[in-house]
Amino acid sequence: MTLEAVLSSVGGVAPTHVLRARGVSQWHIDRGVDDGRALRVRRGVVALPDAAPALVTAVNEHARLTCISAATYYGLWRVHGPAQVHLSRLERTAGDCVNHRTRSVAVHANLPLVGLVDVLVHALQCRPEEESVPMVECALRRGDATSGFLLQRLQGRRNGRARAALAMVECTADSVIEVVARLLLRGAGLDVQPQVPIPGVGQVDFLVEGFLIVEIDGAAFHSDRQAYRRDRLRNNTAVLAGYLVLRFTYEDVMFHPEELLATVLTALGGRPIR
Q: Is residue 273 part of a domain?
A: no
Residue at a domain's end among 133, 167, 201: 167
Q: Are 13 and 7 a contacting pair, CB within 8 Å? A: yes
Residue 248: give its domain's CATH number: 3.40.960.10
> What average pLDDT score do residues 245-260 get?
95
Q: Is residue 274 part of a domain?
A: no
Q: Is residue 143 part of a domain?
A: yes
Residues 156, 66 share a domain:
yes
> What average pLDDT score do residues 1-10 get?
96
Statement: residue 104 has pLDDT above 50: yes
Residue at a domain's end among 120, 142, 167: 167
Burial (CB count within 10 angstroms: exposed 0-12, middle 13-18, buried 19+), residue 187: middle
Distance between CA atoms of 14 and 44, rounded to whole angstroms?
Answer: 9
Residue 21 exposure: Cα atoms within 13 Å on the Cβ side: 6
Q: Is residue 184 part of a domain?
A: yes
pTM of the full structure: 0.91
Residues 184, 257 share a domain:
yes
Q: DSSP letters of 139-208?
A: HHHHTS--HHHHHTTS-SGGGHHHHHHHHT--S--SSHHHHHHHHHHHHTT--EEEEEEETTTEEEEEEE
- Domain total in the chain: 3
Which pLDDT score, from 0 to 100, does residue 274 have?
Answer: 47
Lowest mean pLDDT among 25-34, 210-219, 254-263: 210-219
Domain hosting residue 97, numbered range: 58-167
Q: Is residue 148 part of a domain?
A: yes
Which pLDDT score, from 0 to 100, does residue 272 have?
Answer: 46
Residue 1: other Cβ atoms inside 10 A: 12
* pLDDT more than 90, % of the chain: 84
Residue at a domain's end among 121, 136, 167: 167
Name the DSSP letter for residue 84. Answer: S
Residues 163, 180 share a domain:
no
Q: What is the mean pLDDT of the chain?
A: 93
- Non-local (6+) Cβ contacts of 175 within 8 A are 77, 216, 218
